[in-house]
Amino acid sequence: MLKVNNLTVEFGKRTIFENVQFDVNAGELVCLLGANGAGKSTLLNTLCGDVKYKGQVSINGETLDTLDLKTLAKVRAVMPQKVILNFAFTCFEVVSMGRRVHRSILNEIDLDVIQTCMTLCGVWDFKDRRYPYLSGGEQQRVQLARVLAQIYIKEQQLNNTNYPPRLLLLDECTSSLDPKFQHEIYRILQSLKKQNIAILTIVHDINLASQYADRILLLSNGRLIEDACPHIAINSKRMLQTYDLHTKVIHHQSVSRPVVIALDQV
Amino acid sequence: MNIKIVSVFLISILLLVCVVSLMIGAYPIELKAILQIIFRFNTQDIYPTDQTVLLQVRLPRLIMAAFIGSALAICGAVIQGLFRNPLADPGLIGISTGAMLFVIFTIVFGGFWLSKELQVYALPVSGFIGACLVTFLVYRLATTDNHTDITIMLLAGIAISALGGALTGIIIYMADDNQLRDITFWSMGSLANLGWGDVLFAGPILFICSVILYRFSTPLNLMLMGESVSKHSGVDVVKLKKQIIVLVAIMVSICVCLSGIIGFVGLVCPHIVRLLVGPDHRKVISLSAILGALMMAIADVVSRTLISPAELPIGIITALIGAPFFMWLLVEQKKRLR
C-alpha cells in the first residue's frame, strides 16, 4: 500500500532524516515512535506531500508526486495533531466536510457513512453541537470522525466492488483524550483493518503502541533504527537509544504485549 | 435559525425597501404611478416627469446600490473565510487604498493631459488599475515558491495601505480647492450619477463573479480548518487562493470606482448572517448577498432623504449604521464566550 524508499529530507543544510525505508500494508496498524525532534512529524508531513524530499514514496504503486490532490484525498486521509476552527460549525457539518471530496452534494450513502463514522467515534450524540464549544478531547474525536468519513467505505459496497486499499495518517490522534478514549480510539483503528485501510500513526505512549500496533517503527537521530513487531521492537536497549531513558520492559500475564515502565534512577 | 425563513424574511424586507426607495426622495412618486410605469398599464395617466425620474434616475441607482451592496458583502464573506478571520475585509489587503490612490491621482493631475470628457471615464479605469496593481503587489510580497502566506499578506496589505495613504496625503496636499471637494466626496462614497450605462457594465460582471465565488463555498468551508486540512481533503489551495483574490479584486475595484469607498457593508453583513444561520459558506454567501443589497438600499434612501434635496455621501450612512452595530456585535460576542 504505502512504500517508502531511501527517503531523505533536508531543511537547508540540516538533515532531518535520511535513507528511511519502510512499508505499510493494507490492514496493518503501524506506530511511529521517537523522541521530541526526532523527525516523526516531518516524516508524516513528507508522506502528506507537504515537505520536499529525496527518494521514493508510493501509494498503491503510484508515486506520491504524480497523484493529483483529489485522487489522493480519496485514498489517503490525514489527521493533524490540532485543528483550529473558530467558526461555529456543528459537529455534523465538520464531519460531512470530510465527505466533500467524493461529491459536492451529499447522497444517501455519504450520510450513512457520516453517521457510521460519528457513531464509531462516539460523537453522533452531539452532532448538532457547535464545534468550538467542545472540549479538546471531543474536538479530537470529531476530527477523527471527519478523516474516517473521507476514506470510509460501507461494508455492503466493500464486498460488491473492488476498492483500492486506503491510507490513514495520524499525528498523535489521542494526545488530548482520557485513557478510556485513548483505548477506544485504538480499538476503532484496529477495527478499520477489515476496511482494508493501512494506518500509520505517531504515538508518544509506548504502552499504547505496544498493545495495539502490528509493527513499530523507532526513529532516532534521523535514522529508522527499528522496524519490527512490538515483542521485538520494545526492549530496554531500544528505549534507551530512542528516548535516552532507562526503562524496564515487563511481560504481564493480563496483557499479551510487553509493558514499559520508566526507572527511577540508574 | 432556518435558512428558508431567514431568506424569505430578508427578501420581503428588501422588496419593501425597494418600493419605498422608488417612492420617496426630493421628488415623491406615488405607488400607483410606479406600478403603472413598471408594469405598463394606463400609460396615458403617467406624468412624464414621474417616468423620467423613476426610469432614468431612481431605478438604475437602486439596482446599482443593490448590486454594490451584494458584491461588497460577498467579498467580505469570502475574504473572511480565506483569511480565517471574522474581522477581515477586502480593505485589509489594500484593494480600496490602491483604487483610491489612483483615482485621487487622476482627479488632481488628470486635468493636465486629459480633456474634460475623458476624465469621467478615467476615474473608474484608473481605480480599477490601482486596485489590481496593489492586490498583485501584496500577493507577490506574500508568495514564495507557489505558497501564499496569508499572515504576511495581511501585514503587507497594512504596509501598502499605509504607503498608499501617505502618497494620497501628498497628492491631496498639492490639490486645489475644487479638487479637494471632489476628492472628499468621492472618498466618502456616493451613488449619485449612476445610470443604466453603469448597470449594464457592472451588473453582469458583478453577478458572474458572485456566482463563481458561491461555487467555492465547499472548499472555503474546509479552508476554515487550515490550509493543510483543505489540501489533504482534496482542495487545490494554491489555485483557490489565486482565483478568489483575483475575483475579489475585480469586484471591489468595480464597486470602489462606481461609488467610492463604502465601509462596513463587507464587514458587518457576513457577521450578522453567521449569527443567524451558522458559518457554512453556502448559506453565508447567498444570504450576505441579500443582506448587503438590503443594507445598501436602506443607506441609499437615508442618504437621499435626510437633508433632501441635498445628498449625504452614502459611505457616511453605512459607517453611521454599521460601526455602532459592529461594536454591539463585538460586545455580544464577548458575552457569548463567557
The ipTM estimated for the assembled molecules is 0.89
Average pLDDT over residues B140-160: 79
pTM: 0.88
Q: Are B153 and B142 in contact (CB under 8 A)?
A: yes
Q: How many CB atoms lie within 10 A of CB A34?
A: 24
Residue B48 pLDDT: 86
Q: Are A13 and A66 in contact (CB under 8 A)?
A: no
Which residues of chain B are at the A interface, by a Cβ-Cβ cutoff of 8 Å?
84, 86, 218, 221-222, 224-226, 228-229, 231-236, 274, 278-280
Bridge partners, B16 (sequence order): none
Q: Which residue has the higher pLDDT, B10 or A155?
A: B10
How is chain A split into domains, by residue range?
2-262
Please say if the pLDDT value at position B219 is more than 90. Answer: yes
Tell me what percent of chain A is helix, strand and coil, each rounded to the nearest 5.
40, 25, 35
The tens digit of pLDDT for each residue in B270-324 reads 988 998 899 999 999 999 999 999 999 999 999 988 887 788 888 888 888 888 8
CA distance A85 to chain B (A): 5
Question: CA A160 to CA A121: how far, in whole Å?
Answer: 26
Please say if the pLDDT value at position A223 is more than 70. Answer: yes
Lowest mean pLDDT among A102-111, B6-15, B186-195: B186-195
Q: Residue type at B288?
A: S
Q: B222, A100: Cβ pair inside 8 Å? A: yes
Q: Are A260 and A247 in contact (CB under 8 A)?
A: yes
Nearest Cβ partner of A89 from B84, B226, B279?
B279
Residue A254 pLDDT: 83
* Peptide bond between residue B309 and the one before it cis (omega within 30 degrees of 0): yes
The tens digit of pLDDT for each residue in B237-255 reads 889 988 998 898 889 888 8
Which pLDDT band holds residue B139 (cuts at 50, 70, 90)? confident
From the list B123, B118, B119, the residue with the least C-alpha distance to B101 is: B123
The tens digit of pLDDT for each residue in B119-133 reads 667 777 787 788 888
Q: Are A49 and A64 in contact (CB under 8 A)?
A: yes
Q: B225, A90: Cβ pair inside 8 Å? A: no
Q: What are the structural domains of chain B?
A: 3-337 (1.10.3470.10)
Q: DSSP secondary-structure letter at B3?
A: H
Q: B235, A69: Cβ pair inside 8 Å? A: yes
CA angle (A47 as vertex; A46, A48 as ends), nearest 5: 85
Average pLDDT over residues B164-190: 83
Burial of B172 (0-12, 13-18, 19+ CB in 10 A): middle
- The third-level CATH classification (topology) of the domain covering A2-262 is Rossmann fold (3.40.50)
Q: A89, B232: Cβ pair inside 8 Å? A: no
The tens digit of pLDDT for each residue in B77-119 reads 998 898 887 777 777 778 888 888 888 888 888 766 666 666 6
| DSSP per-residue letters across B59-99 | HHHHHHHHHHHHHHHHHHHHHHHHTT-TT--GGGGTHHHHH
Q: Which residues of B touch A89 (CB under 8 A)?
A: 221, 224, 278-280
The residue of B3, B79, B233, B276 whose CB has the most chain A CBs within 10 angstroms, and thus the best one to mutate to test that interface, is B233
